[in-house]
Structure 1
Amino acid sequence: MPVQPYLFFDGRCEEAIEFYRQALGAEVEMLMRYKESPDPMPPGTHAGFDNKVMHASLHIGDGSVMMSDDCMGHPDFQGFSLSLQAASEAEARQRFDALSAGGKVHMPLGKTFYSPCFGMVVDRFGVSWMIIVPAKT
């Protein structure tokens, strides 16, 4: 039974989807806008949210990340990180650099006792990522 992260963006989901497509090669598996729902918009929804993303699923590597625009509040990505496994140090560097554009590096990529290449970055949307090349066994 897989566990899939679900990220909420405050009106920037479509921008995030395009960013992850460029940075990680993410593929959009599904995208539905609020205006496509048969149900009325929830009370308290921001004006103009009808064209925002109600639900999307992105395929990244071997996994999926779900996301939407948070129509009821402001997202706060704290207390977790998404971990992205890279096949090589070159791939790790490319992914790390792409995710750090407009974001903040918390731990530069480097060798650790558990990985030949590991780093941590918060992207421009506030999502925390850990990039790791698995140690050879």
Structure 2
Amino acid sequence: MVNTDIYLHFNGQCEQAFEFYRSIFGGEFITRQRYGDMAGGDKMNAADQDRIIHVSLSITPATTLMGSDLPSGDDHNFTLGSNFHICLQAETEKEADKLFQLLSKDGKVEMPMSKTFWGAYFGMAADQFGVHWMISYNSVKPNQA
């Protein structure tokens, strides 16, 4: 594995939370994107267009804190204590598939492994103990872009 990141989910407070975390840990945002910035985002209601679809903040050389808001229609899925994923950054697509298969066994697949609009090979699952995982492989490394 390349590294492990922490991914937090919010119900409309992601931007405020990450400004708070940045005030504590310092640094600059690696990315900050809104739902309105994605393809088809202009068709969402105005409030959802302004919500954060993805933000990342490096908090140590080996740890990135990432987050997003749920679209307002998904608010029913938001409960405290289940608003996080552990994100594993795999070194290869094959490793990503293996991690996903092992972690999702006897658990629940939330999103099967697939190519995404942001360019990663990505999937999400809850393991048999209810811990939520994101598995990601990105063939383009940040210094190669």
Length-normalised TM-score, structure 1: 0.49
More helix by share: 2
- From the CA coordinates, give the structure whose radius of gyration is larger: 1
